[in-house]
Amino acid sequence: MHIDFEPGDYVINPIKKDWGIGQIQSIIGNKVTVNFENTGKQVINIEIIALEKLKR
């Protein structure tokens, strides 16, 4: 599996858009830690949830 995210990238969770915009903090294997503006830090398994990268 190829991950085309890196720390500092901005993403949204398309399933939970109310979480707001998140910034990737770290990536370990398939677990991505994202700090979302409305819910704080969440650990996302990107094999289950496909985050959408925002163009900034």
Is the separation of the CB atoms in 37 and 22 below 8 Å?
Answer: yes
pLDDT at residue 25 in the model: 98
pTM score: 0.90
pLDDT at residue 53 in the model: 95
Sequence-separated (6 or more) residues with CB below 8 Å from residue 47: 1, 30
Counting as low any pLDDT under 50, the low residues of the chain are: none
pLDDT at residue 30 in the model: 93
CA 3 from chain centre, in angstroms, equals 11
pLDDT at residue 56 in the model: 66
